[in-house]
Amino acid sequence: MTRRAEFEMGLFVVLQFMFMLYLCSSEELLPEISPDTSPQPFLPFIAPSPMVPFINTTIPKLSGLCSLNFTASEGLIQTTSHNCWTVFAPLLANVMCCPQLDATLTITLGKASKETGLLALNRTQSKHCVSDLEKILVGKGASSRLRSICSLYSSNLTASSCPVINVDEFESAVDTSKLLLACEKVDPVKECCEQACQNAILDAATNVTLKASEPLTDNSVRISDCKNIVQRWLATKLEPSQAKETLRGLANCKINRVCPLVFSDMRDISGNCSNELSNQMGCCGAMESYVSHLQKQALITNLQALDCATSLGTKLQKLNITKNVFSVCHISLKDFSLQVGSQESGCLLPSLPSDAIFDQDSGISFTCDLNDNIPAPWPSSQSSASTCEKPVTIPALPAAASSQPGLYNEGVTRFGIFVLSLVLVILLS
């Protein structure tokens, strides 16, 4: 983490503390605990509106040189600013912030193409638009480091290496009815396994690259750039809310496939956990300490936690640790996520796309699923980490392979976790 971010976080926490002290010293200001957030097992405090002073909803001074109509994407931009909220943006980058920013750009460019007939901006325009959008988002409370957090470049709005940006030309190069049929109704659960829409996008992007005047031996970068163009075109054909859902759904298929956590050196575990677990306490101590470092990295989805358990287990097995130390040391899936509150409760985000919720009274919060203790599965040789062939049926996981939307909500504990407490816990632990 950069120094600036640390500073921002530090300052934030200092202010939080001052606010808490203020709250505690004035009885009548103590927050009412709203009934719909019960049960309240672990929140150290629930502060009313401490975030509000941090929102500087200024009207930013824009370049005037960007032709995109950001007003028409107001709702998307608002959600992006919440998902990318100042200090939380790095923690939510992978799951909420950047995918939402990406969807916002894609939909905004799609809208613009209805007027201009073009699915991309030129470099000059693009620079101004990225800078303007950044100003708008920061003005609404988003992190000022979005460019580095989300790898946002001006090339994100251009054609990059894709040879076709003209809508008419695009539609003549692509079997549009086939593309629409595959993508107009995307079931976010089914799609991750069946990849019908993803394959149609790839197919369309490949067909578009064939329009290039100079063929390349390696077309992969070009195809990837054309996929963005295809998505912008798709966004014009879908209802705005449906476009967002589809794009976020497609993004989540990718997100859920990999564990985003960085695994550091495992020397302590291998030293303590080998020898047929002669020293169980030492081993579990080392495991706990290792996992507690993982917990500080990011908020992850429940399916990502499953990936992370598989990654860690596989790495441990490579170190000749054959005993299921997850089970011996009671490591659960939620142990891989950020912990909230002093009673150690992990927050795993739902595997389906979700957004941060802003509320005047409680600030930023988001929904956590799976607060119960699902033991982390120890990878076995025949099991696969793939979401589609899940090795075990974990009841509280949203059935990724099932398309029944009802299943997703049933039996899943939901908590609105106030991120404020979260940051405090991260910093103080």
**Quick check: 149 and 98 in contact, CB under 8 A?**
yes
Helix or strand run (H / E) with residue 418: strand 415-418
Q: 178 vs 330, which CB is nearer to ligand NAG? A: 178
Least distance CB 107 / ligand NAG (angstroms): 12
Cis-peptide into 405, omega within 30 deg: no
The count of C-alpha atoms lying within 13 angstroms of the C-alpha of 264, restricted to the half-sphere facing its C-beta, is 12
Q: Which residue is nearest to ligand NAG (CB)?
A: 271
Helix or strand run (H / E) with residue 358: strand 357-359
Q: 37 vs 270, which CB is nearer to ligand NAG? A: 270
Least distance CB 152 / ligand NAG (angstroms): 5
Q: 172 vs 384, which CB is nearer to ligand NAG? A: 172
Least distance CB 207 / ligand NAG (angstroms): 4
CA-CA distance, 28 to 48, in Å (whole number)? 12
Q: 222 vs 390, which CB is nearer to ligand NAG? A: 222
Least distance CB 175 / ligand NAG (angstroms): 4
Phi, psi of 340 (to 5 degrees): -120, 125
**Quick check: 328 and 288 in contact, CB under 8 A?**
no
Q: 152 vs 255, which CB is nearer to ligand NAG? A: 152
Least distance CB 375 / ligand NAG (angstroms): 21
Rg of the chain taking only CA atoms, in angstroms = 23
Q: 267 vs 330, which CB is nearer to ligand NAG? A: 267
- Which of 285, 296, 371, 386 shows the shortest CA–CA distance to 334? 371
Least distance CB 65 / ligand NAG (angstroms): 9
Least distance CB 228 / ligand NAG (angstroms): 8
β-bridge mates for residue 416, sequence order: 367
By DSSP bridging, strand 363-368 and strand 415-418 are antiparallel
| All residues at 6 or more sequence positions from 24 whose CB lies less than 8 Å from its CB, including other chains | 30
Q: 197 vs 348, which CB is nearer to ligand NAG? A: 197
Residue labelled with tokens 């101590």: 285
Q: How many helices (H) and strands (E) does the chain have?
A: 18, 5
Least distance CB 124 / ligand NAG (angstroms): 5
CA-CA distance, 340 to 346, in Å (whole number)? 6
Q: 293 vs 414, which CB is nearer to ligand NAG? A: 293
Residues that bind ligand NAG (CB under 6 A): 56, 58, 67, 69, 71-72, 98, 101-102, 105, 122, 124-125, 150-153, 156, 174-175, 178-179, 200, 203-204, 207, 267-268, 271-272, 282, 285-286, 289, 319-320
Question: Could you tell me the end-to-end alpha-carbon distance of the chain, in angstroms, rounded to an integer?
Answer: 17
Q: 147 vs 396, which CB is nearer to ligand NAG? A: 147
CA-CA distance, 10 to 15, in Å (whole number)? 9
Both tokens assigned to 175: 């079997």
Least distance CB 56 / ligand NAG (angstroms): 4
The size of the chain, in residues, is 429
Q: 58 vs 384, which CB is nearer to ligand NAG? A: 58
CA-CA distance, 275 to 74, in Å (whole number)? 60
Q: 247 vs 412, which CB is nearer to ligand NAG? A: 247
Least distance CB 423 / ligand NAG (angstroms): 19
Least distance CB 30 / ligand NAG (angstroms): 26
CA-CA distance, 93 to 91, in Å (whole number)? 6
